[in-house]
Structure 1
Amino acid sequence: MNGRLGARFYLIFAAKLFTVMQSQMHRSLTAPENMQKNTVCLAHCVTTIGLLCYHLSVSACLDAQALNVLADKEMQYMLQRIPPAFADAVADKLIQGQMTTQTPASCQAHWRLSVPAADVAEAQALLQAEPAKQIMLAAQGYQIPEQPILDADFIVDVASLQVKHQETLQTAPLGKLRASVELMYAMLTQARANGQSDAQPWTGADKQVLAADCQQSLSVKAPAACQCYVDGLAEKYTARQVRYNRYLSSNPYAFATGNGAEFKQLDKKLQADCGLTSPH
């Protein structure tokens, strides 16, 4: 029984009990000889209604359906916010999220996110290779995960099933979890954009997506221009690396640090060689 149906059932049952209580009170007044018996019955009714009200307050907050909605919302938030290496790990089924609750009456949810141990180790190695960056990030309150299982408790606005604002701050457990995962996959996206750690071959679907994007975003001078462009990128980069580099190129901070510069040079060269021009 879900929360809404359960709430309706308990309210109807409580209303019937209240009717019984009224009847017993009337009998006590009209038949004093039954007062002791009716008093016991009234006490049981009051206790039962109290328990029903308590159960109603518990079951109406975070039921299984609400927890599933919360889990979907949190994962979608992370997919939209975190650099693309995270989405690829999700697509590879290497990342799982689970939403539970131990105290449903207080509307407190528990988010557990499992990330690949290999990703944690890779990010830790990248950070340790740059001590100055590690010190700077730590001074600003940023850190990357140290283990693959990440947990956070937070309070939910049950009316909207939204995370309360104070829970999203970096000082709160959920905000801290989000920031640490975002930082880790930002580092991995940058490292893998030109590295050899992600050597998955191109598929026909990958090339079709890139060719379609070429047709929509660039001015095509020749029929085979986009195919020429796609083939040129595929010789140098994997499909994921193209997406990573495009993300970095659209990120002012990442591009300012030199990330994506080599890709951008090749991108411009291929556009010129293949007969493509940017509308901007």
Structure 2
Amino acid sequence: MSKISMTPGALLMLAMLTACSTAPRSTSLLENTRQQYQMAQNNPRIAQLAPLEMRQADDAMVLANSAAIKNESSEEIDKLAYLASKKIDIANEAAKQKNAENTIANAGRERDEMRLNQRTQEVSQEKNRADQAAYSAQVAQANTLNAQQKVTALSAELADIKAKNTDRGIVITLGDLLFGTNDARLNPDGMHELQKLAAVLQAHQQQTLSIEGHTDSTGGAAYNLRLSERRANAVSSALQLMGVQKTRMTMHGYGEEFPLMDNHTAENRQMNRRVEIILSDDAGHIVNR
């Protein structure tokens, strides 16, 4: 039976992956670099003609995978993955150049080597420009994908309280039934819903909140505005008691200004009586009304 040989770096990486009890972080750039590294390992010419460069690529790959296993930041992982990719490129180029040198040594060495060096420099310059453009595109794509994945994951965690993804961000709506009639006090059901939200917010400290109170058009506009403000403040106070910092929250009362439905029926008016909690993106940005 044939035996499968592995480089010291690959063995170390395997040991680290085996020892890791949690799923390692990854990025698109790291995954692409791993594929590039595997292709280099499968090419016997690289190991034969560029052993030193391949060992350096192996060491760089271990560092990138170690950062992923340790769940370091995506920026740090991408930086190390990019360095590993460049080391692999160097090993590839070194193997190609060595192979070319071996070939031209048998016929017109000096003349052909001069031409090869000139072409290698041109290719290197072109490749550097292409690599820089590709790296910028990969990082931008990875950042976009990472942001989308975070929003999807956060929405899943908030599924129990019927969070929705909107143009303004993730929105949680507390309906009128969670408050006392014409009152800003949260009833037990309302407090239970907020406890679910507070638990998620403790795990996502980067999110800020805009808490916005709304009413129907029944009664005076001034009364409705005050009621919407009191309900928004009541939600903020309850979240603070549950461990959410006040500095993460802003409160607004809009009264009857932004109804979801017309106020012609009791059912529609009940839908308009609500408090909306809008979660920011990771940078703390919330789209204003």
* TM-score for both structures, normalised by structure 2: 0.27
* TM-score for both structures, normalised by structure 1: 0.28
Q: Greater relative contact order (Cα 8 A, min sep 6): structure 1 or 2? A: 2
